[in-house]
Structure 1
Amino acid sequence: MKMLVWNCQGAGNSVFKCTLHKLLKSHNPSIIVLMETKVQLSSMGLFFNNLGFIACTYVDSVGKCGGIWLLWNPFKVTVMALEANPQVIHAKIKCDHFPDWILSTVYTSPNPRNRDILWDNLESMADNMSEPWLAVGDFNDFASQNEKRSFVPSHSHARTRKFAARLNRCNLMDLGYSRPNLTWTNGR
């Protein structure tokens, strides 16, 4: 099973549509997770239907920020939403010849108080987890200074330690990534 996870930073423009179409054609995923969509899914329904992704669970953006869309091809996989809120969608994934597993799609608020709410939710999920679990998305945090390049040396090491401790409490591990070295840029 293939899954595409993308913090698209806006799904309402032609560049997004063209890029997504190319990604789908080259990778043929069963599941798509889009974060920080910044538009309402209803404005994109026909586009996704034409791509064969007719089933979805979503949390729309609030104004021009946030948004998580979990879309799947119902001919390849069955997805049952367990919970959806502005920072996470939890779903049970069923696919022929594989055991059921839990997918948590995350787009964490940059607000520290809201991040704490998300981690309370993830820790509760971890405490009750009996199936295999994959948490993917944008946690708006990092576990080491090597994951951030900044001209401001005042970044708190306590924040990175707190993120690593939260990952450990949930029994989550970083599966890594390949290229580019930094996955986010503000254009500078």
Structure 2
Amino acid sequence: MDSLCRGAGNNTFRCNMRELLQTHKPRIIVLLETKVMLSSMGNFFSNMGFSTATIVDPIGRSGGIWLIWDTDQANVRASAVTNQYLQATVHKEDYEKWVFNAVYASPNPSLRETLWEKLEDTARNLNKPWLIAGDFNDYANQSERRSFSHTPNQNRTLRFMERINNCNLIDLGSVGPHLTWTNNRQGLANSMERLDRAMSNDQ
């Protein structure tokens, strides 16, 4: 997905996205690190049946979160929007309401702390099913990191796991490459990490 979103709005992105939508037929789309404004997409998503969106536009070429949905298939009501996450309540007829957070955590540790403070507040006050997914810019243990050039930071992984446990979140696992980010360097300079994940509460 990282390569898909790098330069959202170009022809390759549009082709890949169209194929994904036709194959998987999602009702809700979330895109992270879009690097461009949604307005640059013109009518692309509305022509594919996704007429409504809540967005965090990027600052310059950095960041960006798009939450886009088909109003005929789901009712999505955004309740919080920041540079690091979107929070919304999702409802579909005959199904229980649930809460969704799309996360794009800052690489700045102090800003990530602010993010987790908000998520812990949500966890304490929530009585609905909760799904939280995205790029957390953190990894949970050393098996989620491969690097020859940096010393492991055990305090960082312990703090991340503490935050996850404080929110009573369960890692839902994934399909595909285990390590979701790379610095794209060669040889011993290469680093790979699992920064992306989906988690939920026990509801």
Could you tell me which amino acid in structure 2 is paired with residue 80 of structure 1? R
Rounded to whole Å, the distance in 2 between the matches of 1:17 and 1:95 is: 28
Instruction: Verify the 8 A CA contact 1:32 1:70 in the aligned structure 2.
Output: yes
Does structure 2 conserve the Cα–Cα contact (< 8 Å) formed by 1:107 and 1:137? yes
**Deviation by residue 1:128-169 (Cα, 9 ceiling, x = unmatched):** 101110001000111011111111241211100100000000
Q: Separation in 1 of the partners of 2:124 and 2:57? A: 28
Shift of residue 44, structure 1, vs aligned partner:
1.2
TM value normalised by structure 1: 0.94
The AA in structure 2 aligned to 1:93 is: V
Identity rate, percent = 49
Q: Superposed, which structure 2 residues align to 1:24-63 within 5 Å?
A: 24-63=21-60
Once residues 48 and 63 of structure 1 are traced to their aligned partners in structure 2, the CA distance between those partners, rounded to angstroms, is: 22
Q: Which one of 84, 87, 92 corresponds to residue 87 of structure 1?
A: 84
Check whether the contact 1:81–1:89 (CA below 8 A) recurs between aligned residues. yes
Q: Compute the displacement of 1:9 (Å).
A: 3.4
Residue 61 of structure 1: SS of its match in structure 2?
A: coil
Q: Distance in 1 between matches of 2:15 and 2:142?
A: 34
Separation in 2, partners of 1:141, 1:14 = 31
1:149 counterpart = 2:146: yes
Q: Is the 8 A contact 1:12 1:38 kept in 2?
A: no
Q: Deviations over 1:3-46 (max 9, x none)?
A: xxx55233132211111111101000000000000001111141
In the TM superposition, what whole-angstrom CA distance separates every residue of 1:50-107 from its partner, at most 9, and x where no partner exists? Answer: 1111111010001101110000011100000001011010000001121000000000
CA contact 1:88–1:107 (8 Å) conserved in 2: yes
Inter-partner Cα distance in structure 2 for 1:81 and 1:14: 30
- Residue 177 of structure 2 is matched in structure 1 by 180
Provide the C-alpha distance between the structure 1 equivalents of 2:12 and 2:152, rounded to a whole number of angstroms: 34
Counterpart position of 1:103: 100
Matched, 1:158 2:136: no
The runs of at least 4 consecutive aligned structure 1 residues that moved more than 6 Å come to: none
State the distance in 2 between where 1:64 and 1:95 align.
35
Partner of 2:119: 122
Q: Which residue does the alignment assign to 2:8? A: 11
Aligned to 2:192: none
Matched AA of 1:29: P
Query: Do the aligned partners of 1:48 and 1:54 also contact (CA within 8 Å) in 2?
Result: yes
Give the aligned CA root-mean-square deviation in angstroms.
1.1
Mapped partners of 2:15, 2:136: distance in 1: 26
- One-letter amino acid of the counterpart of residue 71, structure 1: I
| Structure 1 gap segments, 5+ residues each | 1-5
Q: How many residues align?
A: 183
TM-score when normalising by structure 2: 0.87
5+ long unaligned stretches in structure 2: 186-203
1:186 Cα deviation after fit: 2.9
